[in-house]
Chains A and B, each alone.
Chain A
């Protein structure tokens, strides 16, 4: 959750709607929906407050309680204390987590409705894995994260001021409709027209329309203002951003080191069991042939042929191994041609378009290459695609690769380990991977890696 938060959302501005009357009306209703969310946030805020209040009350009764009637007070204090603690034990962490989810809905809506993207500020839970934390460390984790307190602050501010900003357009429009336009249109009905000098039907109507217009026109601005206000509390502080960055870097570094070590182990094992063993066998065959050379030239000849075949097999194994470490065509020609070579070898019908004026650094090139390789393997395994398109370009300091296929879609990133592996590998470069695969297709996988290109190629191929 928090790892992705650090990555700048390239599509954050896409959600901003064009300003206009229709957009204004939509914004009025959206503004009306926000107080509902805030109200549920208030409910969640009450849970810890009630817990703290009851606990404090119980403690107070116990301390103050004395005298003969102290028995009842003692019992009452004990009951209050136990109730407060029990609520805290059972409901507080859950309420705080639910509040996080609610706040994240607001964060998402801010980006989608008003183009004010808000990053998620939470610290990842301590300890490895996804298992549920024990109560104490869970509470500690939540309480020590400033983002929790800022969430609570946001609820308080929202309940006092925020809802007014968000709902003001709807209130204005409502006043215009109910207070002026409706009475002006149906003067005979029970609602008396507002009493102020010179209120003819025309002026009522005009004032009503002015109110509605004011509401509609101001709606988008006020919605935006509300999200700016929310952003000041819901977005990570500079310090939180740094903390998230550090934990992201630490995690990707350890993953990179791990996968590097695993890879080296695999290469070592492959060499040991493959080429090395074959060379040993070859040496033995050759020495046997040497012994037989004088006594039985025909047998020696057969052994020599065997040794030759063994060396060819060792070479083939080394070739396959090298291809998996760093494909020669990538070293020779760079990413664009290496991907073309991949496309040719994949057996799929692939169109490759590459607009790369230079070459990225070798590690980035290699990561991108293996990512495309994995994606093409996925296409040929699962997609049943007739055509595949690969588009590679470098823009705004990013290497961007799109792999699109017209297959059946419905790819689930959580199922395959391949996509997850690519994601981890790209994360080491602060790269991201996005998968869009509606059922029925088409599937689009996009990856972006921040990188610079080396000077343009001078040689022509």
Chain B
């Protein structure tokens, strides 16, 4: 799997490269600004031999040191729809999460930089995004849930269902949720079915579509 890394601080860029390579991913480009990122992501499209599978992007990049990385990622996704992008940031904003999810497609990740500390989970998130899934930071989900606390359908969920909903919104599969909560996959499937019923959403067997439906529900 080929990864493009965009990060302006050398230490972090180097660390990320080594971390991903240690887990068997191939870093095909490591850039330090938005323009190079856009070039690296769109070069060789649509079906060159060495197109990257996923981009890991820092929100703040030179030259403006504002949200250059985010804008480059969004621009790249406009050119290459569905291009998997995992955005890393020192802080998370619901506003940015919305913009990333606005197209309604998967292949999106938005995580705090701290999540890199847990390398196994982080690499799992990168792989998930590359496969068209989502990886939303728990902090984003917590705020989304806090926002929806007045929603009668959400307050009708049991505490366990709320936990499952939060993990599902982060983008995890039933298997991962089961492992996290120390329950069987069957139990998780039962909870998910009940959540979808209570929220009035169409149940779906496809993990990614299910996550997007939940995120769309929470973000309205």
Residues of A within 8 A of B (CB): 308, 311-312, 315-316, 319, 322-323, 328-329, 331-333, 337, 340-341, 344-345, 347, 459, 461
Contact = CB atoms under 8 A, between A and B. Distances in A.
Contact of A341 (B59, B95, B147): B95
B200 to A, nearest CB: 20
Contacts of A329: 91, 93, 95-96
Contacts of A328: 60, 90-91, 93
A347 B95 contact: no
Interface in B157-187: none
B94 A345 contact: yes
10 contacts: A308-B117, A311-B117, A312-B114, A319-B91, A322-B91, A329-B95, A333-B67, A344-B95, A347-B146, A459-B71
B67 A461 contact: yes
Contacts of A347: 146-147, 149-150
A323 B94 contact: no
Given A344-B147, A347-B147, A461-B71, A337 B117 contact: no
Interface of B: 59-60, 66-67, 71, 90-91, 93-96, 98-99, 112-114, 117, 143, 146-147, 149-150
Given A333-B67, A347-B149, A459-B71, A315 B114 contact: yes
Q: Which of A316, A332, A333 has the most CB of B within 10 A?
A: A332
Nearest to B89: A328
A379 B146 CA distance: 17
Contacts of A323: 91
Contacts of A322: 90-91
Contacts of B147: 344-345, 347
Contacts, number: 52
Nearest to A323: B91
Main secondary structure of the interface of A (DSSP, over half): helix
B66 A332 contact: yes
B117 A312 contact: yes
B68 to A, nearest CB: 9
B95 A340 contact: yes
Contact of B94 (A312, A316, A319, A341): A341
A331 B66 contact: yes
A187 B183 CA distance: 107
Contacts of A319: 90-91
Nearest to A344: B94
B66 A333 contact: yes
A421 B159 CA distance: 40
Contacts of B117: 308, 311-312
A371 to B, nearest CB: 19
Contacts of A345: 94, 143, 147
B117 to A, nearest CB: 5
A47 B147 CA distance: 64
A293 B168 CA distance: 38
A428 B44 CA distance: 55
Contacts of A461: 67, 71, 99
A274 to B, nearest CB: 15
Contacts of A308: 117
Nearest to A459: B71
Contacts of B146: 347
B209 to A, nearest CB: 24
Q: Which 8 pairs show the lowest CB-CB distances between chains A and B?
A: A332-B66, A341-B95, A344-B94, A332-B67, A347-B147, A312-B114, A341-B93, A329-B93
A341 B143 CA distance: 12
A347 B150 CA distance: 9
Contacts of B95: 329, 333, 337, 340-341, 344
Contacts of B143: 344-345
Given A328-B60, A333-B95, A461-B71, 10 more contacts: A319-B91, A322-B90, A322-B91, A329-B91, A331-B66, A332-B59, A341-B94, A345-B143, A347-B149, A459-B71
Contacts of B96: 329
A459 B143 CA distance: 29
A293 B96 CA distance: 42
Q: Which of B60, B96, B113, B114 has the most CB of A within 10 A?
A: B114
A340 B67 CA distance: 16
B151 to A, nearest CB: 11
